[in-house]
Structure 1
Amino acid sequence: MALYEHVFIARPDISPAQAESLVEELKTLIEEKGGKTGKTEYWGLRNLAYRIAKNRKGHYGLIDIDAEPAVIDELDRLQRLSEDVIRHMTIRVEEHTDEPSAVLSKKDDRRRREQRR
């Protein structure tokens, strides 16, 4: 099996709870198809670099996946059909880390600096 990182952007008009449940739905789908999931992260509602389908913001999520390419193909197919997902991307990686992603570690650094003040 190969290692992948899957990032998606969901519409801004869904609630954060719905975005987190979308992450859990994807996780169960991967596990049903025979894959394994590692860490999952919900990055929150963030500004987009450019407008996508008239949206300026989106809910971001990340899933680490260990699965066969057929599972990734099915995941991509379902993401294209989903009305809640406006963009998604799956990247093959050499290894997964247990550390928080760069996005979450940046938030933690910002909080620490504010607490020192």
Structure 2
Amino acid sequence: MNPLNNLYETFFILKPDLTEETTLNIIRKYHQMLITNGCKNIAIYDRGRRHLSYPINKYQDGIYIECSYVGNKQIVSNLEKFFRIDDTIIRYLTIKTNSLALALEN
């Protein structure tokens, strides 16, 4: 397994018709998945319900979730595989940031 050496930020948008309890359960599920895969410095933020710039799957709004964590590309690949089959997620994006050194210094 590759060493944990990259800082990733993953954003995903949930369907707007989910209850708050369902949203929290989804967040817990993916948080636990990151822990199980050995990620470090996990931070998950619920950015709330927002209007989309353009309709996605006929939805005008979505619930935005932001995750940042230290991991490797295999973890990202596994996470995105689960996003693809999860019908509550309408869009996702993962970026690798260059601020790992800054995160480790703080």
Residues 42-87 of structure 1: per-residue CA shift (max 9 Å, x gap) = 0111100000000000000001111111010000000010000000
> Percent of aligned pairs with the same residue?
23
- Structure 2 distance, partners of 1:45, 1:17, is 14
Cα RMSD after superposing both structures? 1.7
Q: Does 1:14 align with 2:26?
A: no
Structure in which a larger fraction of residues adopt strand: 2
Unmatched 5+ residue regions in structure 2?
A: none
Offset at residue 38 of structure 1 (A): 2.6
Structure 1 residue 37 displacement after superposition: 4.1
Q: How far, CA to CA, are the matches of 1:4 and 1:92 in structure 2?
A: 4
Structure with larger RCO (C-alpha < 8 A, sep 6+)? 2
2:83 matches 1:79: yes
More helix as a share of residues = 1
CA contact (8 A) 1:42 1:61 kept: yes
Q: How many pairs align?
A: 98
TM-score w.r.t. length of structure 1: 0.77
Query: Partner letter of residue 82 of structure 2?
Result: L
Does the CA-based 8 Å contact 1:30-1:37 persist in structure 2? no
1:14–1:37 distance in 2 versus 1, CA, 3 Å:
farther
Q: Does 1:69 align with 2:61?
A: no
1:22 positional shift = 1.5
The residue type equivalent to 2:19 in the other structure is S
